Amino acid sequence: MKPPTQPSVLPHADYRSAHLDEGEDYHAKFQNQVYRALLWEIERDVLLSIVRGFADPRAVQLLDFACGTGRVLEALAPEVGKPVGVDISSSMLEVARRLVPDAEIYCCDLTRDDTLTGRQFDMITAFRFFPNAEPALREEAMASLARLLAADGLLVLNNHRRAGSLKHRLRKLQAKVGLAKPKDLHTMADTEVYDLAARHGLVVVREYTAGVLPVLKERRPLLPATILRPIERWAAGVASLAPFGSHRIYVLGRRRNEH
């Protein structure tokens, strides 16, 4: 198996400390930033389709890892039983507890403590975490989540910094003329996801792609949402456009010989 690769530029030296003091301000970005809000709409619909694919969604044991302000928990809570969320930012979790009061929420680092040891989850979500995290943290997190995943469970993670997308290509062109910041060039390739999963006994069983348009300013895209929305929703269903998407959702399951 291939060893983990080291990205050339990381947005944070230690991603554990990246959002410790954020809360309402972070949550508002998914409502106020036009393009970010649109892509979250698409991702939310994908998540709902996945959980509704279980034989009995209300019986699904759900864990949202690095749940932040509870965006994913809020979307899926009506579909499942009592969801579980974990994060290390107490300020982010204040928002999550308000939005999803019935959720079971823990302020902890699953890579370093045993808060959920002995439990198994049918569906685990991890959004906007893995592409931001440094390689060592990616490995620790994936190891922890693989241990918590039920035998027939699904681990669903997203990659909003996807290498090879039109957005990434445009960023590289900007960098050549000094218009892009180093952190803007940080990405995670599909192959990095596949290899990370394989090292922990998992395999990608389904993928969904969004964000085909190379929008660089999520808050102020050049086109209004009324135009962006139908284009992006149409593009999300066109397989030939998938290589150009900046956002990808990977659904992971255990390899058949893993228990």
Q: How many degrees, rounded to 5, is the angle at CA 64 between CA 218 and CA 140? A: 95
Q: pLDDT for 113-122, tens place per residue?
A: 999 999 999 9
Q: Please give the class, per CATH, of domain 20-253.
A: alpha beta
Q: What is the pLDDT of residue 9?
A: 53
**pLDDT above 70 covers what percent of the chain?**
94
What is the average pLDDT across 21-36?
89
243: CB partners within 8 A, 6+ apart: 164
Mean of pLDDT over the chain: 92
What is the average pLDDT across 223-233?
95
Q: What is the pLDDT of residue 181?
A: 81
Q: pLDDT for 138-195, tens place per residue?
A: 999 999 999 999 999 999 999 999 999 999 999 999 988 888 787 788 899 999 999 9
Q: How far is CA 249 from the centre of its chain?
A: 7
> 7 phi and psi, to 5 degrees?
-60, 150
What is the average pLDDT across 101-129?
95
Q: What is the pLDDT of residue 43?
A: 98
Least confident of 2-11, 144-153, 215-224: 2-11
Nearest to 89 by CA among 30, 18, 143, 158: 18
Q: How many degrees, rounded to 5, is the angle at CA 13 between CA 172 and CA 221? A: 40
Least confident of 17-21, 85-89, 98-102, 204-208: 17-21
- Whole-prediction pTM: 0.92
Confidence band of 4 (pLDDT split at 50, 70, 90): very low
**Residue 171 CA: distances (Å) to CA of 38, 166, 178, 181, 204:** 21, 9, 10, 9, 28
Q: What is the pLDDT of residue 16?
A: 82
Which residue pairs, CB below 8 angstroms and at least 24 apart, start in 253-257? 253/152, 253/153, 253/154, 253/155, 253/202, 253/203, 253/205, 254/149, 254/151, 254/152, 254/153, 254/201, 254/202, 254/203, 255/201, 255/202, 255/203
Least confident of 18-32, 96-110, 142-156: 18-32
Could you tell me whether strands 247-254 and 149-159 are parallel, antiparallel, or unpaired per DSSP bridges? antiparallel
SS3 content of the chain, % helix, strand, coil (to 5): 40, 20, 40
Q: What is the pLDDT of residue 10?
A: 57
Report whether pLDDT(239) > 90: yes
Tell me the Cα Rg of the chain. Answer: 18
One-letter identity of residue 46: V
Exposed/middle/buried for residue 106 (C-beta within 10 Å: 0-12, 13-18, 19+): middle
Confidence band of 20 (pLDDT split at 50, 70, 90): confident
A 10 A CB-CB count for 32 gives 12
A 10 A CB-CB count for 253 gives 18
Exposed/middle/buried for residue 217 (C-beta within 10 Å: 0-12, 13-18, 19+): exposed
What is the average pLDDT across 67-87?
96
Q: What is the pLDDT of residue 19?
A: 77
